Amino acid sequence: MGFRSRFALGLGLRLGLLLLTAFAFVQTLSIPGLGAARLVAALICLGAAAALWRFIQRTNVELARFIEAVRFGDLSQGFKRRFEGSGFAELGEALDEGIRKLRDERHNLSDANRFYEAVLDDAPTPLLTVDEEGRVELANKAARRLLVRHQGVRPEDFAEYGDAFAKALAGGAVGRPRLVPLMIDGVPQTAMVSAAVVHRLGGLVRVVAVQPIQGELNAVEIAAQSDLVRVLTHEIMNSMTPVTSLAHSAADLIAKVDKGGDPDIADARAAVETLARRADGVMGFVESYRQISRAPEVRRRMFEVKPWALELEALFRASPAGDQAEFALSVEPEALTIDCDPDLMCQVLLNLLKNGAEAARSHSDAPRISLAFTRARSGRAQIEVSDNGPGVPEALRQDVFLPFFTTKAKGTGVGLSLARQVILAHRGAITIDAGPDGGALFRIVI
């Protein structure tokens, strides 16, 4: 028997009881001397009326309680009523089932929200949100790791990373991704910035994705340079090898016939020997560039900077360049660690120190050079090499890392290009700026 049948039966019984007691009460009114019976009949009639009213109201009360529980989110309520009959047990079970499904859906929705929040927070691409009032929030861990230098929540507060980036945050238009210069840890980078508009809490929010791609651009550039150098050196070596061989053969032959009596033969011998030496010089020059065409093999490991830096200082002081320059070493904090290939990084820093010492010695009577290790705000290690030499003109600062480019009379243009390759192989960055003593300042972030 369903709830409707049981409810109708219960309603009929209570209504019948009410009518019966009401009839009995009316009968007592027409018979004199039945005062006590009249009182009893009235009380029974009132009780039957109250029972009928309670029976009718119980459904409304349970439904109202169910609606209130849903309205206020109190899904812990229970409605099951055993041993009450009249179908109310079935009604309670139905309401409990509704509450249970709402509770399960809430749990599922909560789990889904936690999952999407975790996905958003752990996404590798830095994400920012900009609401309709222009308030900027860092939406995930990647954004909080990348953007650590600013203070404030307005787009203009992000000018710390470059005016172009601040304008990209302030711009309301949503279009195709565009390249934006970005200044991170004092190192200029290029980022791909894109935006999308989403609805949140009845308003519109722009979601801005910032993807630094300087590493990928550097990798493409280095690959292109390596291919170019490989082709050039190969062709030059193929052309110069027979020239060098013939020049040495000719020098040996003419040396045998030169008895010192003929000035023309002596002049020819001098010319051929000069040609042989220059051919050897060209071969050596080309051979030095072959190492640029081979990507350095990086063996990274984590180690403490201070003892390694002291060994580096000893190596530099033992060199001819380091013996004539004042050297200052700084490591902050003392227990600073770095994750890199110690051998390759030692080669890079020794080359930078040697260049700096030579530049300082040619420019000042008291040459000075310094090497400083610190921790950048992003958490990466920062290395600075500075000197009190003439410095590098701003117009040439982007060219000094190119292969074949040099400002020294006897330079080959290999050292800084190879240093940049090593740093980029570590997924780091190297830049040049004006130093505090007026010389060059090389900054490495790794």
For the segment 260-289, the average pLDDT, to the nearest whole number, is 78
- What mean pLDDT comes out for the span 374-401? 87
CA distances 272 to 40, 236, 247, Å, are: 146, 20, 6
The more confident residue out of 60 and 246 is 246
Rounded to whole angstroms, the Cα distance separating 341 from 303 reads: 10
Domain tally, the chain: 4
Does residue 385 belong to any structural domain of this protein? Answer: yes
- Lookup result for tokens 């009316």: 26
**Residue 89 pLDDT grade (very low, low, confident, very high; cuts 50, 70, 90):** low
What pLDDT score does 88 carry? 56
Contact 129, 208 (CB under 8 A): yes
pLDDT band (50, 70, 90) for residue 85: very low
One domain, residues 352 and 229:
no
Q: What is the pLDDT of residue 293?
A: 61
Q: What is the mean pLDDT of residues 358-376?
A: 90
Residue 55 and residue 147 in one domain = no
Residue 86 confidence (pLDDT) above 50: no
Do 141 and 226 share a structural domain? Answer: no
Q: Can you tell me the distance from the alpha carbon of 189 to that of 184, in angstroms, rounded to the nearest whole number? A: 7
Lowest mean pLDDT among 143-147, 190-194, 321-325: 321-325
Structural domain includes residue 296: no
Res. 290: pLDDT tops 80: no
CB 170 within 8 A of CB 155: yes
DSSP, collapsed to helix, strand or coil, labels residue 388 as: coil
Question: Mean pLDDT lowest for which of 79-88, 158-167, 221-230, 350-359?
Answer: 79-88
Domain extent for 345: 301-445
Examine the domain organization and report whether 164 and 207 are in the same domain.
yes
**Burial readout 333-350 (b: 16 or more C-beta within 10 A, e: otherwise):** eeebebebbbebbbbbbb
**How large is the average pLDDT for residues 274-298?**
73
Is the residue at 406 inside a domain?
yes
Tokens of 373: 């290790």
Q: Rounded to an integer, what distance in angstroms lies between the CA atom of residue 177 and that of residue 347?
A: 39
Q: 173 falls in which pLDDT band (50, 70, 90)? A: low
- Strand partners of residue 373: 331, 383
The residue behind tokens 């009401």 is 22
Residue 275 CB-density burial (10 A; 0-12 exposed, 13-18 middle, 19+ buried): middle
Token pair in block for residue 288: 């030095």
CATH of the domain at 427: 3.30.565.10
- Domain-terminating residue out of 109, 136, 166: 109
pLDDT for 169 beyond 70: yes
Asked whether the beta carbons of 69 and 100 are under 8 A apart, the reply is no
What is the SS3 assignment for 304? Answer: strand
Q: Is the pLDDT of residue 74 over 50?
A: yes
- The answer to whether residues 305 and 439 belong to one domain is yes
CA distance 189 to 394: 18
pLDDT of 366 above 50? yes
In a domain, 91, yes or no: yes
Task: Report d(CA 69, CA 336) in Å as an integer.
Answer: 58
List of E strands, 351-438: 368-375, 381-387, 429-434
Q: What mean pLDDT comes out for the span 291-296?
A: 64
Alpha carbon distance 29, 42 (integer Å): 10
Which of 165, 180, 212 is the C-terminal boundary of a domain?
212
Same domain, 168 and 208: yes
Q: How confident is the model at residue 95 (pLDDT cuts 50, 70, 90)?
A: confident
Which region holds residue 149: left if phi is over 0, alpha if psi is between -120 and 50, else beta? alpha
More confident position, 265 or 1: 265
- At 241 the pLDDT is 83
Report pLDDT digits (tens) over 420-433.
888 888 888 888 98
Report yes or no on 295 lying in a domain.
no
Q: What local confidence, expressed as pLDDT, does residue 409 receive?
A: 52
Half-sphere exposure of 226 (CA within 13 A, CB side): 15
DSSP 297: P
Of residues 377 and 290, more confidence is placed in 377
CA distances from 318 to 72, 192, 365, 389 (A): 79, 46, 20, 21
Q: How many whole angstroms separate alpha carbon 127 and alpha carbon 195?
A: 9
Distance, in Å, from the CA atom of 331 to the CA atom of 306, rounded to the nearest integer, reads 6
Average pLDDT, the chain: 81
